[in-house]
């Protein structure tokens, strides 16, 4: 009886071990130039987002960067404060794809984190691109007084709607001081000193002395890349793994009786 149950117990033991080890997902290392996707989201004026950049930063073009490129699953990460020149290329979720007859660009500053999950555009991991085949998504705070309402090209008479929602863009890392519209406004630079964990450099270059560390790494918080139940069991929060581990311990006990 016991010997026939042994293989099951071994499987359980293996599963238990697997679930006890936090699977470490690597942050996405991206080149200074490349392609990405771009979406937009509503960020209220003067809202203090994940990086803790000042309220006045919202008066200029800002974005939330997809989590695994941002470099933290909460609070600040190495993406905070970085500036990128984004150029709209085409839309591809529309049928047919839309190619504008102008190439519109915008320099944005990263002030927020776009978490994995949700509709998936911010869910790329180092080994899995998002739905657009890209590893970075820039979620633009728009509408915004800093960006014209007609910034996104459209063709309403043909498509019947103006907002394509998702764009292919090219990006280029740029100096904030040279490129970002808020660069000469002191009120728009730096972070809010409100006692919480914030980090929003005026012009991060990637050097450890002027670029934010990863809040997740500093605090031992594993990147949360949960998008379905299976990864949730493996990379989920510590409590969910603990509950799961407990179930396996109980199963093992049942096995050994
Ligand atoms: C970006 O997309 C363009 C097409 O729009 C392509 O020609 C180019 O090779 C892509 N660049 C990279 C780095 O993938
Ligand atoms: C937009 O940029 C693309 C890629 O750089 C180029 O092929 C195209 O000719 C440009 N279009 C216009 C209208 O400038
Ligand atoms: C835009 O996205 C589509 C769909 O994934 C892809 O086939 C295409 O190559 C992308 N274009 C650019 C310019 O990156
Ligand atoms: C809209 O699309 C139609 C069909 O492709 C085209 O004939 C027309 O020139 C487009 N208009 C604009 C403003 O892009
Ligand atoms: C960072 O700052 C420290 C102290 O000022 C300095 O010793 C170190 O060389 C700097 N690191 C880099 C990469 O510049």
Domain extent listing, the chain: 2-23+226-255, 33-218
Answer whether the bond into residue 103 is a cis peptide, omega within 30°: no
Whole-model pTM? 0.81
C-alpha separations of 257 from 25, 53, 248, 249 in Å: 37, 58, 14, 13
- What is the fold of 33-218? Barwin-like endoglucanases (2.40.40)
Q: Is the pLDDT of residue 44 over 60?
A: yes
Q: For residue 41, what are the β-bridge partners?
A: 141
CA–centroid distance, 215 to ligand 5, in Å, is 20
Does the Cβ of 228 fall within 6 Å of ligand 5? no
Does the Cβ of 209 fall within 6 Å of ligand 5? yes
pLDDT in the model for residue 254: 65
CA–centroid distance, 100 to ligand 4, in Å, is 9
Q: Is the pLDDT of residue 61 over 90?
A: yes
CA–centroid distance, 209 to ligand 5, in Å, is 6
- Work out which ligand 5 atom sits closest to the CA atom of 207: 13
Q: Is the pLDDT of residue 133 over 80?
A: yes
Percent of the chain with pLDDT strictly greater than 70:
77
Among 37, 169, 170, 171, the mutation site with the greatest number of ligand 1 atoms within 8 A of its Cβ is 170
Pocket of ligand 4 (CB under 6 A): 155, 157-158
Q: Is the pLDDT of residue 23 over 60?
A: no
pLDDT in the model for residue 223: 77
DSSP helix/strand/coil, 81: coil
In this structure, which ligand is nearest to the CA of 104? 2
Q: Is the pLDDT of residue 181 over 60?
A: yes
Q: Is the pLDDT of residue 6 over 90?
A: no
Q: Is the pLDDT of residue 164 over 90?
A: yes
Mean pLDDT value across residues 180-206 = 93
Q: Contact at 8 Å (CB) between 180 and 109? A: yes
Q: Is the pLDDT of residue 91 over 80?
A: yes
In this structure, which ligand is nearest to the CA of 97? 3
Q: Tokens 């695994």 identify what position? A: 68
Q: For residue 38, what are the β-bridge partners?
A: 138, 167
Q: Among residues 52, 79, 83, 46, which one has the least CA distance to residue 181?
A: 83
> Whole-angstrom Cα distance, residue 211 to residue 186?
18
- Work out which ligand 2 atom sits closest to the CA atom of 101: 13
> Whole-angstrom Cα distance, residue 133 to residue 145?
31
In this structure, which ligand is nearest to the CA of 207? 5
């Amino acid at each position: 009886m016991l010997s026939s149950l042994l293989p099951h117990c071994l499987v359980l033991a293996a599963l238990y071990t697997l679930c006890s080890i936090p699977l470490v997902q690597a942050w996405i290392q991206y080149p200074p130039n490349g392609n990405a996707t771009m979406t937009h989201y509503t960020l209220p004026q003067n809202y203090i987002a994940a990086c803790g950049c000042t309220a006045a930063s919202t008066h200029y073009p800002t974005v939330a960067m997809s989590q695994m490129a941002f470099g933290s699953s909460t609070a600040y990460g190495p993406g905070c404060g970085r500036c990128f020149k984004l150029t709209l290329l085409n839309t591809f979720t529309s049928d047919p794809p839309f190619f504008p007859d102008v190439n519109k660009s915008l320099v944005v500053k990263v002030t927020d984190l776009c978490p994995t999950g949700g509709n998936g555009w911010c869910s790329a991991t180092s080994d899995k691109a998002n739905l657009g085949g890209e590893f970075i998504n820039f979620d633009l705070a728009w509408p915004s007084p800093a960006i014209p309402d007609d910034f996104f090209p459209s063709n309403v008479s043909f498509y019947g709607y103006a907002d394509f929602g998702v764009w292919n863009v090219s990006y280029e890392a740029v100096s904030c001081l040279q490129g970002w519209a808020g660069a000469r406004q002191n009120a728009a630079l730096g972070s809010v000193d409100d006692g919480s964990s914030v980090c929003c450099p005026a012009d991060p270059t990637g050097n450890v002395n002027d670029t934010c560390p990863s809040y997740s790494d500093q605090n031992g918080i594993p990147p949360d890349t949960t998008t379905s139940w299976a990864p949730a069991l493996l990379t989920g929060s510590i409590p969910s793994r603990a509950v799961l581990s407990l179930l396996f311990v109980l199963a093992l006990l049942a096995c050994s009786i």
